[in-house]
Each structure stands twice: as C-alpha cells, then as structure tokens.
Structure 1
Amino acid sequence: MSSVLSDVPRGGTWLSRWEPENTAFWATTGSRLAWRTLTITTLNLVMAFMAWFLVSALVVRLPQIGFKFTPTQLFWLAAMPGLAGGTLRLVHMFLTPMLGTRLVVTVSTLSLLVPLVGWFYAVQDPGTPYSVLLLLAFLAGLGGGNFSSFMPSTSLFFPKRLQGTALAIQAGIGNFGVSVVQFVTPWIIGFALLGGSALLGDPQTMTKGGVQSQVYLQNAAAVMLPFVVVFGISAWLLLKSVPIKANFAQQFDIFRSRHTWSMTSLYIMTFGAFSGLSATFPLLIKQIYGSFPGAPDPLAWAFWGPLVGSAARVVAGPLSDRLGGARVTHWAALGMLGATLWVTTLTQPTGLESFPMFVAGMLVMFFFAGIGNASTFKQMPMLFEPRQAGGVIGFTGAIAAYGPFLFGMLFAGSFASLQSATPVFYGLAAFFAFNVVLNWWMYARRGAANPC
C-alpha cells in the first residue's frame, strides 16, 4: 500500500490512508467512513437504475397516448438502454482508480439529468420522431453505466470478510430502482404535479381498453429530477476517494486471468438475466397475454420481478459471506435452470388461466437470479487482489449490462419470425446449464483448485 500512497495526490478528495484489513484501523476509522460511503453511493445507484429502466416503464404506454410504433420498434426502444449501459460500463470500469469515488459518483449522477429532461419533453408530443426516442433511450443507459464504477469503489472500501454483504446491499438496493420506476410510473402519471403547474406540461389522452383518461406521462421523469440533483451534490460534499490508483493500461492485467472470463459468464447468467428480463417483462406480458379479453396491465405485474430479485440479492450477500459464494451460486444456477424450463410450458397460452403460473415462474427465476447476483460478487474479491477485483466487478457488470439489449433483440426476433418467446427461453436454459457445470467444476466441487 505504501508504494501506492506515494503516488497519490493529497487534498480534499483523496484519503491519505486506507487499510480496511487492519482491524484497529477498521474499528477506529474505516468502518464509519465505509458505511457512510456505501449509503451515499447506494442512494445514487438507485437513481441510476431508475433512469436506466425508465424506458421499460414508459414504452408500454406510448401507443396508448398516440405514438404509432410496431411491437418490434417498442422492443428496440426497451433494448437501447441496455446497449448503452453495457457500452458505458466498459468505460466506467476504469474510472474509479483513475479519478476517484467522489468525482465519478458526482458527475455520473448529475449526467442523468440529460435523459430525464429529454424524456420529460418527448412524451408530451406524440409526433416526436422515433429516431429522437431511440437516442433518448440510448442516453437512459447513462444510468446503467454507473454500476461499473460504483461497485468497484465499494469493493475498495470494505475488508474481504464483509465484501459479500456490502456489495449485495449496494447492488440489491440499487436494483430496487428498477421495480420502483415500474411501480411508481402508473401511479405518478395519473395526476398533475404541483397543482397542474404549466411548467410541468399538459396532460395526454390515454386510450386503454376503449376507455379514455387523462395522464401526465412526463411525470415519470419529472419526479426523479430533484432527487438526482440532491444526491449528486451530496456525493460531492460527503464522499472521499480510496488511495488506490492505476492508469488505463495497468488495469488491463485482469484479462490475463481465466477467472475473469469464467466469472463474466456466471454474471451474465445472473445479472444479464435479471436486467434483460426486467426490461422486457412488461412487453412479454403484453405480447403473450395481451390479446385475451380482460388482459392484465403489464405494469401492474412487471415490477414484482425486479423487486423479488433485488430483495433476494440483499439477503444473499450475508449468506454468501457465511457459506461461500461458489456454493450459493451453484444452487442459484440450478434454480434459474428449473424456473426457465417451467416458463417454457407457459409461453403459448390459450387463455388467461395460465397467467398466474407464468408470473410465478418468472418470479422464481428473478429470485434465483438475485441470489446469484450476490454470490458471484462474493466470489470475485476472493479470486483477485483489491484493485483487480474492482476491475473484474466492473467488467463483468459491463458485459452483463447488455442484458436488456440482448433480451430485447432476442424476443423481438423470436416474436417477429416465430410469434413465440419459447425458443428464447430454451436458449436461456441451455446457457444456464452450461454455467452450472462451469461453476461447479472451477469453484464449487470438492477439490476445486480455486474454491471461493
């Protein structure tokens, strides 16, 4: 650590000393600052996930207020934040050791104002060009990028014995932003904010089931704006940066390890599925069950998936610290595989009677994905030294963040060519089975070379 400290600039941003594995230092200084940092960055991460998944909550409403888009175009809109989120995470994974926690969290949070303001205005005009909405959907991915700098930062603040818990708390509560935006949107768009202030725009006429009503779709973005401003400024005022630095080139050493690639596959299985299904769950409900009389409102059900997955992630962190990440990942992967095979029997219904079972199967999949999200993040710090572990966490998070884009494209193609989502779920089952074997052989079996 001393060799690192000598190269670290002193001042208001960088800590002069950080030794979380030192018991005395942790008890007197480290614990308080680490938990404060976790609280602030987690609140900012919630807003990042809300901005990232805002499009998934809006897209099912756009045709109801006059936008003329095909199902394929809607899936593209839902997919674009995932494309941006994954790409931007590949940038974010390098930022914390270069710029520090304080600057990265502040700037990345305040950048969310760009897509939020854009969507605020765009949804008020059904004549907004599709290309503009695609761009705004891509910009919503700014929120997705934040994860791959926030989580590596957290891994630097905590000792290894607590990293499973800390990372699960941050990611799990951050993931709640997905269910929050999907749950709040149907409610918040139903009335005028600030007593119908002209500043917040006029209502739109929504036609649903032949019934018309007045809604304020722009409220979904407007309600986030003050929180983004307050949390972003708070990050600048209250955060510090751990004195572990590396330039861009030095951080590429993680790609020489086979564990980087195996953990990437495992995290694609868990978070890739969580994020991809969170983004497409509303449209899946609409496409599979929306044509039946009395069809359910997708947003009345879709938020349960990310809610269950996020809660499971929080709980599974301490469990992984106690039992070991690889063992928990093994059972999570088996649970995801079983749930996926169950869902394949429910994706070509003849009526609404199978809808409750479809939702149940999806929720089981979300539950085990959340468990695996936590346990894989326990494995990574055990396989790598702190700076490398942060880089691997950032990289795996970046690749898995393509989940919304990949799932959106897979479902769009499957519905367009085969009028069914079933082939996609069969493909997922095969991928999950591969990862069960991969994790068991490398990390979970008795006698594994690298138990973690």
Structure 2
Amino acid sequence: MTSTVTPTVGADAAATGSTSVTLTRRPGRWIDGWNPEDSAFWQSEGRPIARRNLGWSIFAEFLGFIIWQLWSIVVVMLPAGGFTFTSSEAFWLISLPSLVGATMRFPYTFAVAKFGGRNWTMISAGLLLIPAILLGIVVGNPETPFGVMLAVAALAGFGGGNFASSMANITYFFPQKEKGWALGLNAAGGNIGTAVAQFAVPIVVTIGAAATLNLSLAGWMWVPFILLAIWGAWRYMDNLGNAKADVAGSAAALREPHLWIMALLYIGTFGSFIGFASVFPKLIADQFPEYSTIQVGGAAITLAFLGALVGSLARPYGGKLADRIGGARVTVGAFSVMALGAFAVIGTMQLQNFWVFLACFLVLFAATGVGNGSTYRMIPSIFAARGIATGALPGTPAGTKIQRKAAASLGLISAIGAYGGFVIPQVLNLSQTTTGAYTAAFYGFIGAYVVLMLVTILVYIVPRKSLAGQRI
C-alpha cells in the first residue's frame, strides 16, 4: 500500500512555504519522488527526514570503522597476550584489513541502488558481527596460527566497505549546497570509530584483568552496539526510490579522467589518514615503548587514539571550508601542511622526544582530516561543473545522469583512495626491514604530497573549459 503527499500547485508555492514535491511511500520504508533541491520541500519535510537517516548512517559507519581498525590496536597488545609474531607479520595484520576494505568498497558502492540505503545499512551492519566475534575467539589462544589470524584480520575489511555505501546513500538525501557538511559529518562520524577503538580497547581488556589480558573482549565488546545499529536502521531509516547508480553509469564514471585524478588525491588524504591511524600505535611502540601504554588505575590507555581523533574531527571542517572557498584551495593547503608535518616527524624521531613527536603527528593528522573533507567535497562540484560544461543541467535527463555518475564516483573514489591504508603501513614496513628505520618512508611521503599539491593546482585551481571555468 502506498501513501502520497499531494503538492500545492502554483507560482506561490515556494513563497508560502508549501512544497511542490510529491512523496510516495511504499512498504519497507521506501520513498519515491525525493527532491532536496526544492527549497520549500527541503525546509518543510525534507531536512528532518535527511537528518534522521544521517544520524543512523553515522552510527552504523562508526561501528564499521571500529571493526575495520580493531587490529591496529590489538596487534600492539598481542605480545602481552603471549603471541610472538615478527614486526613484518604485525604490519600485515595491520594493513590487510585496509586492503580488503578498500576492495569491498567497489561492490558496496552499488549496494545502495540495488537494495536501498536502509536495507543495506542493516545488512552491512550485520556482517560486522562476523569479524567481531571471530576476533574475540582467535586472540584468546596464543597458539592460534598466523595464517588464521591473518584470515580473521582480512574479514575486518567488511567494516571498511561500509563507508562507500553510506556516503553514496547520504549524498542523495541532501541538496547540493549542504552536501559538503553532511558528507563531512557522515565521514567524520565513521572516521572517529578508529579513535574510539584505540582508546576503548586497551581499557576494556586490561581493567580488572590483574596480570593478564582479556584480549577476547576486544571483539565481543562491540556485539551489542552492532545489534543496536541493525535495529536503528530497521526502525528509523528510509530507502530512496531515486537512488539509482546503474552499472552503465558507473562504467561511464570510470571513463571520466577526473575520477582517476580525484582517486589519486584521495589516496593522499584519506589513504594517509587511515594508514597513519592504523600504524600509529605500532610506531609509538617501536619508537617510544615506554609511552606505548599508560597505566591509569587498573586500566591501560594509549595516546595513539589522539591521531585518529584529531583527523576525524577536522574532516567536517575541511568540507565546510571547501563549501566557502573551494575544495581545491583547501586541498592544496592540506597537502602543504602534510608535507611539513611529515618533515617535522623525521626530525622528532631523531630527537627522541615523545611529546614533540606526538605534537607533530597530530598536526599531520589534522591536515589529513581537512584534506579528506575538502577532496571529497570536490567530487560533486567537479561533476556539477562537468554538467554545466556539457549542457547537462539539473532537472534534465542528462543532469540526472550526471548526478548518478557523481554518486557512483563518490563510492569508487573512496574505494581507490582507501588502498592508501594498505600502502602506508607496507611502505613503513619496507623502510624498516631494508634500512632499519622509518626515515626513508617519510621522505617518500613528503615527495608524494608535493606532487599531489601541484596536481591539484594545475588541474583544479587554474580555470579550465572542461570544468566551465568553475571554481572547484
């Protein structure tokens, strides 16, 4: 059975606040006719619905990031739990979830269009139970083979896939002028899951454990929250009938040169964030073992969570700043600060001063967060400019295709960019195994950030006809 909201017809609709949008509701919380660009509809009915969906999307994605990055903190606690893995094996346990998560983002990008945003949020949240429960089992036995541990770590990649579907879903709910802030909040809410995992896990597994660790709790502690996310999505979220991202549209997006340029930039920003966030606990343990954990009463905490926290909180401001002055300008600033931050880290590792090391890394994390928000905000702006340049204006069939291509690109770029979460740890691993230090890796990162900054300037700050001369 369906219900229809009958619109007010006439030129005075917008002036009176009446909506000219017709919403048709179908069983299973499906909504047809969604149009957030209609200002009267958005102010009256659209915004509350969009914000409700955004809230539960953030919570589900938050849990996805927690599961995705659990191994970043569990790995540094394995020696205390009786495990004897090498440093290289530890790097693989840290980086493999990012590799799998990045790959999972490709199918997850299409899942919203096929199953509906609400439905897929329920399914994707349910999949998080598998790696959470299995982690709780395998870390409880120090005799667990490395291959088994690696397989369970790989399953944590389910959490990494959540980002692509969540962002593709939310972009349909909000008007163009508010996408930057909405996408920034959605992403930051997910990103902050890394910080929460790194802060909460050491406390939970050590409190009341006396001389031993309850490492199994690192997985089991999240099960009730995952069940809550499934229920919340079922009860409060909606599926949008116009959320279409067909294979043909995505194939067209893959043929768009700007998709690949933006994917490269996103590897530099988000890839750096998730890569450094995952290895930060290990870097502290290797460089400053006395600060790896700090005892507070009967529990242990690690200051590594501050990196992911700062980067996550900075992300929505990167999107908001991009809304005001342009994503390209903000991205150039982010890459310049990232290069300076990486250079400062090299110096602080030689000084062997933990607090200066931490401060420099927090600056680096803040820059990655701002860059995450600004680069992601650039994507819909680029496709909107491409629409103007090709005559595919909003409200036309061609304009709709551009919008769908942009939605597909959000997921595809997030997938490609997430491979940075695998590359960063493995570059650090290679640097350590070949030179005995991380210095060479950081010099490589500095060079990459400078190149990406120049690419952003040349392609998106210099006016181009292919982008209708628009400021990106």
Question: Normalising to structure 1: TM-score of the pair?
Answer: 0.89
CA distance in 2, matches of 1:16, 1:394: 22
Aligned pair 1:313/2:329, yes or no? no
Counterpart in the other structure of 1:199: none
Give the aligned residue type for 2:406: A
The alignment partner of 1:60 has SS state of helix
Matched, 1:154 2:179: no
1-structure distance, mates of 2:245, 2:344 = 46
Which residue of structure 2 lines up, in the alignment, with residue 260 of structure 1? 259
State whether structure 2 residue 395 is matched by structure 1 residue 399. no
Comparing 274-283 with 402-411, which one deviates more in the overlay?
A: 402-411
Match of 2:303 in 1: 301
Alpha carbons 2:188, 2:312 under 8 Å: kept: yes
Compute the displacement of 1:446 (Å). Answer: 5.9
Coordinate RMSD, CA, aligned: 1.9
Q: Deviations over 1:326-355 (max 9, x none)?
A: 121121111111111212223345xx4x22
Q: What secondary structure sits across from 2:212 in the alignment?
A: strand
Confirm or deny: 8 A CA contact 2:110 2:408 kept in the other structure: yes
| Paired residues for 1:421-440 under 5 Å | 421-440=438-457
For the pair 1:238 / 2:236, whether they are aligned, the reply is: yes
Q: 1:295 & 1:226 partners in 2: Cα distance?
A: 31
How far apart in 2 are the matches of 1:273 and 1:348?
22
1:273 aligns with 2:269: no
| Residues 325 and 378, structure 1, Cα contact 8 Å, conserved in 2 | yes
Structure 2 match to 1:451: 471
Residue 155 of structure 1 contacts residue 389 of structure 1 at CA under 8 Å; is this kept in 2? no
How far did 1:295 drift? 4.9
2-side partners of 1:65 and 1:331: how far apart?
A: 43
Q: Secondary structure at the match of 2:239?
A: coil
Q: Is contact 1:152-1:389 (8 Å) kept?
A: no
Q: CA offset at residue 188 of structure 1?
A: 0.8
Deviation string 1:116-151 (CA, Å, 9 cap, x unpaired) is 000111111111111111011000110001101100
Query: Is this contact kept in 2: 1:156–1:386, CA < 8 A?
Result: no
User: Alpha-carbon deviation of 1:10?
Assistant: 4.8
Say if 2:101 is the partner of 1:102.
Answer: no
**Is the contact between residue 189 and residue 215 of structure 1 (CA under 8 Å) also seen in structure 2?**
yes
Three-state SS of the structure 2 residue aligned to 1:244 is: coil
Normalising by structure 2, we get a TM-score of 0.86
Letter in 1 for 2:431: S
Q: CA deviation at 1:61?
A: 0.6
CA distance in 1, matches of 2:34, 2:25: 14
Residue 289 of structure 1: aligned partner: 288
Instruction: Tell me the distance in 2 between the aligned counterparts of 1:166 and 1:250.
Output: 24
- Residue 15 of structure 1 aligns to a residue in which SS? strand
Name the CA distance, whole Å, in 1 between partners of 2:313 and 2:413: 21
- 2:227 counterpart (226, 229, 232): 229
User: What is the alpha-carbon distance in structure 2 between the residues aligned to residue 256 and residue 403 of structure 1?
Assistant: 22
CA offsets per residue over residues 250-271 of structure 1, 9 Å max, x none? 3211012121011111111110
Taking the aligned partners of 1:296 and 1:75, their CA distance within structure 2 comes to 16
Structure 1 distance, partners of 2:256, 2:89, is 40
Work out whether residues 330 and 444 of structure 1, in 8 Å CA contact, stay in contact via their aligned partners in 2.
Answer: no
Amino acid at match of 1:409: Q
Residues paired across the two proteins, number = 422
If asked which structure has higher relative contact order (CA below 8 Å, sep 6+), I would say 1
User: Alpha-carbon deviations, 1:180-225, whole Å to 9, x = none?
Assistant: 0000111111236xxxxxxxxxx6xxxxxxxx82221112222210
Match of 1:218 among 203, 216, 223: 216
The equivalent of 2:379 in structure 1 is 380
Tell me the residue number matched to 1:332.
334
Q: Which amino acid aligns with 1:102?
A: R
**Equivalent residues of 1:178, 1:306 under 8 A apart:** yes
Q: How does 1:121-140 map to 2 (within 5 A)?
A: 121-140=137-156
Residue equivalent to 1:419: 436
Q: 1:21 to 1:9 in 2, by over 3 A?
A: closer
Unaligned runs of 5+ in 2: 1-20, 295-300, 384-401
- Residue 407 of structure 2 corresponds to 390
Distance, in Å, in 2 between the alignment partners of 1:446 and 1:87 is 34
Matches within 5 A, 1:167-206: 167-191=183-207
Report the equivalent of 2:161. Answer: 145
Q: Which runs of 4+ in 1 moved over 4 A?
A: none
Give the Cα–Cα distance (whole angstroms) in 2 for the partners of residues 246 and 313 of structure 1: 26
Report deviation, 1:155. Answer: 0.8
Q: 2:427 aligns with which of 402, 406, 410?
A: 410
